[in-house]
């Protein structure tokens, strides 16, 4: 009896120890296998179509992978600030080395540059295709033909700063007025002038769907006041690579040339499309470019 009791006790104790070990192991496994946060915010610059287009593209891609993606619109400076404080996870429209250089000086130490996905970008002053000039050097002498004005975009944009502080003084355009309001307002002015057969000069950038949509041309900038070709970069909050390494790897490897970007922008921003249609439009574009899209996460 004593041997049986001791044996029963030993078995019971071993069983309890085994259950305890399994419970402890189960807790460790649960903790180690805890699902990562799947919520992601992508900040989109107001009025910047290339960033909006690729943000909708990545929203669709990431949601297909099980992430919950929110697009949050704001002006450029608040987005850089928000990335530095972790209020946004990611943005896909940072221009370097010129356009957003001052913002990188201020916030670059507290955000992560995930690299350029397009290296064909550039700042421009564009005019109607049949305008009587081809270079910024000719604009001052022909200012009257353009109503003595250049139609610009947002007052705080890097493009606006470059035109105001470099282009206009260099080419003697100080007597011309640089009108600033917003990118949509500039595009509306461009459309109206072209419809009326009038000359117009606008601040613009490549890549932009306007080059496919309108008969316009860039004015040569022989003094290089608007800089050389720029890269369009993705930036993230500093800790995103720790929280979502899969996403940071995909975004770091992301590449899209201008012609492919134009094809996406053209279907999103044609005259019949509305913002409420963008998700369906992008889904159709993905289906038509499936091999490319699949390669972005393989």
User: Where residue 243 sits, what CATH number does that domain have?
Assistant: 3.40.190.10
Confirm if 230 and 177 have CB atoms less than 8 A apart: no
Contacts of 171 (CB under 8 A, 6+ apart): 136, 137, 139, 140, 223, 225
CA distances to 88, 159, 235 from 81, rounded to whole Å, are: 9, 19, 12
Is residue 19 situated within a structural domain?
no
pLDDT in tens, 62-95: 999 999 999 999 999 999 999 999 999 999 999 9
Which of 169, 196, 218 is at the close of a domain?
Answer: 218
Is residue 212 situated within a structural domain?
yes
Report which of 211, 185, 234, 253 is spatially closest to residue 47, judged by C-alpha positions: 185
DSSP letter assigned to residue 153? -
Same domain, yes or no: 270 and 239: yes
CA pseudo-torsion sign 274, 279, 285, 287: negative
Residue 21: the pLDDT is 39
Same domain, yes or no: 178 and 51: no
Is residue 272 situated within a structural domain?
yes
Band (pLDDT 50/70/90 cuts) for residue 114 is very high
pTM of the model: 0.76
Same domain, yes or no: 115 and 256: yes
- Give the domain range for residue 189: 122-218
What tokens does 196 get?
A: 């009326």
Beta bridge partners of 112: 236
Band (pLDDT 50/70/90 cuts) for residue 270 is confident
Same domain, yes or no: 111 and 133: no
Confirm if 240 and 37 have CB atoms less than 8 A apart: no
What tokens does 219 get?
A: 């004015």
Which of 166, 187, 218 is at the close of a domain?
Answer: 218
- Kindly give the interhelix angle for 258-268 and 49-64, rounded to the nearest 10 degrees: 90
High-pLDDT (> 90) share of the chain, %: 76
Confirm if 112 and 237 have CB atoms less than 8 A apart: yes
Dihedral over alpha carbons 236, 281, 215, 175 (to 10 degrees): -40
Confirm if 150 and 202 have CB atoms less than 8 A apart: yes
Same domain, yes or no: 129 and 205: yes
What tokens does 118 get?
A: 């397009």
Does residue 185 register a pLDDT over 50? Answer: yes
Is residue 51 situated within a structural domain?
yes
Confirm if 269 and 277 have CB atoms less than 8 A apart: no
Same domain, yes or no: 237 and 114: yes
Is residue 30 situated within a structural domain?
no
Residue 272: the pLDDT is 78
Residue 273: the pLDDT is 82
Same domain, yes or no: 141 and 190: yes
Same domain, yes or no: 129 and 104: no
Give the total number of structural domains in the chain: 2
Which of 167, 189, 218 is at the close of a domain?
Answer: 218
Same domain, yes or no: 260 and 242: yes
CA pseudo-torsion sign 182, 183, 188, 192: positive
Is residue 92 situated within a structural domain?
yes
What tokens does 95 get?
A: 């221009």
Give the mean model confidence (pLDDT) for residues 10-34. 39
């Amino acid at each position: 009896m004593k041997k049986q009791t001791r044996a029963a006790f030993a078995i019971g104790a071993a069983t309890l120890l085994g259950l305890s070990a399994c419970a402890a192991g189960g807790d460790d496994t649960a903790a180690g296998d805890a699902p990562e946060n799947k919520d992601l915010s992508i900040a989109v610059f107001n009025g910047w179509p290339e960033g909006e287009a690729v943000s909708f593209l990545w929203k669709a891609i990431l949601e297909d992978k099980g992430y919950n993606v929110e697009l949050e619109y704001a002006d450029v400076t608040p987005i850089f600030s928000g990335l530095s404080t972790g209020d946004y996870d990611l943005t896909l429209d940072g221009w370097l080395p010129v356009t957003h250089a001052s913002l990188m000086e201020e916030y670059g130490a507290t955000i992560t540059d995930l690299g350029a996905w397009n290296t064909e970008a550039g700042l421009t002053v564009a005019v109607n295709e049949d305008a009587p000039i081809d270079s910024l050097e000719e604009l001052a002498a022909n200012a009257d033909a353009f109503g003595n004005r250049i139609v610009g975009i947002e007052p705080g944009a890097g493009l606006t700063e470059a035109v105001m502080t470099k282009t206009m003084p260099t080419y003697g355009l100080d007597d011309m007025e640089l009108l600033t309001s917003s990118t949509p307002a500039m595009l509306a002015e461009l459309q109206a002038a072209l419809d009326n057969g009038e000359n117009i000069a606008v601040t613009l950038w490549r890549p932009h769907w306007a080059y496919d949509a309108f008969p316009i041309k860039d004015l040569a900038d022989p003094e290089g006041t608007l800089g050389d070709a720029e890269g369009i970069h993705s930036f993230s909050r500093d800790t995103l690579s720790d929280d979502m390494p899969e996403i940071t790897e995909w975004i770091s490897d992301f590449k899209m040339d201008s012609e492919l970007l134009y094809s996406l922008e053209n279907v999103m921003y044609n005259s019949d499309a509305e913002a409420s249609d963008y998700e369906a439009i992008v889904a159709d574009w993905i289906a038509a470019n499936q091999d490319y899209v699949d390669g972005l996460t393989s």
